[in-house]
Chain A
Amino acid sequence: MSTLHYDIAHVLDGSVLLLGFLLLYQRRMFGLINIFAFQALGLALAAAWQAHVHGESHLYATALIALSVKAGIIPYALRRLIIHFGIHRTIDTALGIGPSLVAGATLVALSVMLVLPVTADSAALTREKLALALSTVLIGLLMMITRRNAITQVIGFMALENGLILAAVGVQGMPLVVEMGIAFEVMVAFIIFGIFFFHIRDRFESLDLQYLESHRGERR
Chain B
Amino acid sequence: MTVSGLLSVGLLAQIVQAILVLALAPALTGLVRLLKARLQGRRGASLVQPYRDLACLLRKDVVIAENASWLFQAIPYIVFTMIWFAAVLVPTFTTVLLLGPTADLIALVAFLGSVRFFMALAGMDTGTSFGGLGASREVMIGSLAEPAVLMVIFTVALVAHSTSLIDVAEYLTGTDVGIRVSLLMALLAMVMVAIAENARIPVDNPTTHLELTMVHEAMILEYSGRHLALIEAAAMVKLLLYISLILCMFVPFGIGTRADGFAGIGLGLVVYLGKLMGGAVILAVFESSIAKMRVFRVGEFLGGALLLGVLAMIYLYISWAV
Contact = CB atoms under 8 A, between A and B. Distances in A.
Contact of A101 (B178, B179, B300): B300
Contacts, number: 62
Contacts of B184: 11, 14-15, 18
Interface string B293-304: 000000110011
30 contacts: A4-B178, A6-B178, A7-B178, A7-B179, A8-B179, A10-B180, A11-B179, A11-B180, A11-B184, A14-B184, A14-B185, A14-B315, A15-B184, A21-B307, A21-B308, A25-B304, A98-B303, A101-B304, A101-B307, A102-B307, A105-B310, A105-B311, A108-B311, A108-B314, A109-B314, A112-B318, A116-B321, A127-B322, A128-B315, A128-B319
A105 B309 CA distance: 11
Contact of A13 (B181, B185, B300, B322): B181
Interface residues of B, number: 23
| Residues of A contacting B: mostly | helix
A134 to B, nearest CB: 12
Given A7-B180, A14-B181, A105-B310, A131 B318 contact: yes
B85 interface: no
Interface in A82-130: 97-98, 101-102, 104-105, 108-109, 112, 116, 124, 127-128
Contact of B300 (A98, A109, A128): A98
Contacts of A132: 181
Given A3-B176, A25-B304, A116-B321, 6 more contacts: A10-B181, A11-B184, A18-B184, A101-B303, A112-B314, A128-B318
A124 B322 contact: yes
A25 B321 CA distance: 29
Interface of B: 176, 178-181, 184-185, 188, 299-300, 303-304, 307-308, 310-311, 314-315, 317-319, 321-322
Contacts of B180: 7, 10-11
B202 to A, nearest CB: 13
B300 to A, nearest CB: 5
A171 to B, nearest CB: 16
Given A14-B185, A18-B185, A98-B299, A105 B178 contact: no
A124 B314 CA distance: 15
A124 B303 CA distance: 30
A109 B311 CA distance: 8
A7 B176 CA distance: 11
A15 B183 CA distance: 12
B311 to A, nearest CB: 6
Contacts of A98: 299-300, 303
